[in-house]
Amino acid sequence: MTIDIRRAVVLGSGTMGSQIAAVVALAGYTTALVDIRQEQLDHARAELTKRLDRDVEKGRRERADVDAAWERLTLTTDRDAVAANADLVIEAAVEDLTIKRSIFAELDAVCPPDALLVTNSSNIVSSRVADATERPGKVCNLHFFNPALVMACVEVVPHEGTDPETVEAAVAFVESLGKTPVKLKKEVPGFLANRLLNALRREAVDLYEDGVADFKDIDLAAKTALGHPMGPFELMDLVGIDVVYLIRLAEYEQTGDPASLPAPSITQKYEAGDFGRKTGRGWYEYPAE
Ligand code: CAA
C-alpha cells in the first residue's frame, strides 16, 4: 500500500522548522508551520520572506513559485486544527525527550490514524518517541540539515518497528522535495553526518582548548586544507551553540559517557547566552545588519 502525502504540518518554527516548512510548501504540499508562540511565527515569516525574496532577486527561484508556496503555507498556533487533517507531521521542537514524548502522544490522539509522525531530531532516535503513540510503525526520524533551504541531504532513520511502507513513503517524500534521502539501516544517536561532524568538532575544540591554535586558524585549516565550506567553529555559530550544547546533553543522557558532555568552552558560551548568529555573538561577532 502506498502512503499518499498531501498535507504536511511542521511543529516548531525555529531555524530548522521554518526552513523545512518553506521547502515542503515550495514542493507543492499544503503546509502548516506551528508554534506555541505567535512572536516566533512572526519572526519566522519575516526571516523566510527575506530569504525567499533574496532567492528571487538572485534568480535562484521564480517569483511565481515563491508566491504559490506562500499561498500553500499557513503559520498558526492552533496545532490541533491543522494536525487533524495532516498526512505527515514533522516535529522540529526543542531537543528534550520529555517534551517530544508528550508532543507525540498528543499528535497521536489528534492526527488521522494513517498519518506519519516523524521527528527532525538529530540525536533523539524515534524509538524513544514511537512508544508514546499507538502507531509506532508510522514513526521515524527525518533529519534535515541547516540551512534546510540549501542543504541537499535528509537522513531517513527507521527504528526497529517502523513499517517498510513508512520508510518507502519517507524516501519518496524527501525525493519529492528535491532533496537527497540518505537511508540508515538502524538507529544510532547522531546518525551519519552528525557523527562525522562531531568527530571533527570534538578535535577542533580540543585543539583550541589545549591552546594549540586560535579557533579562526582551525577554521582556516578546515576550509583551505580540507575544502569544507565552513570551519567547525563557523558551523557551530550557524547551527547554534545552544543546539550543539543540548545535543551533547541529550547524547550524554543516552550514553552515560562523560566524553559526550559539552566541552567547557561550549558550556561557557551557552551559559553566557552567546549562541552564534542568532544572538549576534558566538565564536564570531555578527553585527546587526
Ligand atoms: N539560510 C538559507 N540560505 C542560506 C543561509 C541560511 N542561513 N546561509 C546561506 N544561504 C544560502 C543563500 O542562498 C546564500 O546566498 P546569498 O548570500 O546570495 O543569499 C548562499 O547560501 C551562499 O551563502 P554565502 O555566500 O553566505 O556562503 P557560502 O557560499 O559559504 O554558503 C552555506 C553558505 C550553504 C551555509 C555553506 O557555507 C555550507 O554548506 N556550509 C556548511 C553547512 C553545513 O555543514 N550544514 C550542516 C550543519 S549540521 C546540521 O544541520 C545538523 C544538525 O542536526 C544541527
Write a three-state SS string for 118-134: EECCCCCCCHHHHCCCC
Mean pLDDT of 1-20: 92
Q: Which atom of ligand 1 is nearest to the CA of 240?
A: 54
Residues, the chain: 289
63 and 139 belong to one structural domain = yes
Domains: count for the chain: 2
In a domain, 18, yes or no: yes
Which of 143, 159, 198, 251 is flagged as catalytic?
Answer: 143
170 and 197 belong to one structural domain = no
Mean pLDDT of 36-42: 97
Whether residue 183 is predicted with pLDDT greater than 90 in this model: the reply is yes
The CA 233 to ligand 1 mean position distance, Å, reads 14
In a domain, 279, yes or no: no
Whether residue 230 is predicted with pLDDT greater than 70 in this model: the reply is yes
Whether residue 2 is predicted with pLDDT greater than 80 in this model: the reply is no
How would you classify residue 136: left for phi > 0, otherwise alpha for psi between -120 and 50, otherwise beta? alpha
Q: 94: pLDDT confidence band, cut at 50, 70 and 90?
A: confident
Q: Domain containing 262: what range?
A: 193-272
Catalytic (active site) residue 143: yes
Place of cell 537527497: 180
DSSP SS3 for 152: coil
DSSP SS3 for 112: coil
266 and 139 belong to one structural domain = no
Instruction: Tell me which residue has its CA closest to atom 30 in ligand 1.
Output: 229
Mean pLDDT of 236-247: 94
174 and 200 belong to one structural domain = no
User: Is the minimum distance from the CB of 149 to ligand 1 under 6 angstroms?
Assistant: yes
130 and 92 belong to one structural domain = yes
78 and 123 belong to one structural domain = yes
In a domain, 93, yes or no: yes
Look at residues 183, 209, 232 and tell me which one is the last residue of a structural domain.
183
The CA 21 to ligand 1 mean position distance, Å, reads 17
pLDDT at 247: 85
pLDDT at 147: 97
21 and 109 belong to one structural domain = yes
Alpha helix positions (H), 58-141: 63-72, 79-83, 97-110, 127-130
Measuring CA to CA, how many Å separate 105 from each of 55, 99, 210, 288? 38, 10, 45, 40
Catalytic (active site) residue 228: no
In a domain, 281, yes or no: no
64 and 141 belong to one structural domain = yes
In a domain, 65, yes or no: yes
Catalytic (active site) residue 106: no
Check: CB of residue 186 under 8 Å from CB of residue 162.
no
Catalytic (active site) residue 122: yes
Which of 127, 194, 198, 260 is flagged as catalytic?
Answer: 194
User: Is the minimum distance from the CB of 230 to ligand 1 under 6 angstroms?
Assistant: yes
**Rounded Cα–Cα distance for residues 156 and 178 (Å):** 15
User: Is the minimum distance from the CB of 243 to ligand 1 under 6 angstroms?
Assistant: yes
The mean-pLDDT minimum among 187-191, 213-217, 222-226, 231-235 falls in 187-191
| Angle at CA of residue 155, ends 116 and 106, nearest 5° | 30
Check: CB of residue 115 under 8 Å from CB of residue 129.
no
In a domain, 155, yes or no: yes
Instruction: Read off the pLDDT of residues 118-175 as tens digits, 9 standing for 90 and up.
Output: 999 988 999 999 999 999 999 999 999 999 999 999 999 999 999 999 999 999 999 9
Instruction: Tell me which residue has its CA closest to atom 45 in ligand 1.
Output: 146
175 and 201 belong to one structural domain = no
Q: What is the CATH number of the domain that holds 198?
A: 1.10.1040.50
User: Is the minimum distance from the CB of 195 to ligand 1 under 6 angstroms?
Assistant: no
Which of 155, 159, 198, 234 is flagged as catalytic?
Answer: 155
What strands, in cross-sheet order, belong to the sheet with 7-11?
73-76, 30-34, 7-11, 88-91, 116-119, 139-144, 153-158, 180-183
Q: What is the CATH number of the domain that holds 108?
A: 3.40.50.720
CA dihedral in degrees (220, 226, 228, 234; nearest 10)?
A: -30
In a domain, 282, yes or no: no
The CA 150 to ligand 1 mean position distance, Å, reads 6
In a domain, 188, yes or no: no
176 and 197 belong to one structural domain = no
Mean pLDDT of 231-258: 91
147 and 241 belong to one structural domain = no
74 and 118 belong to one structural domain = yes
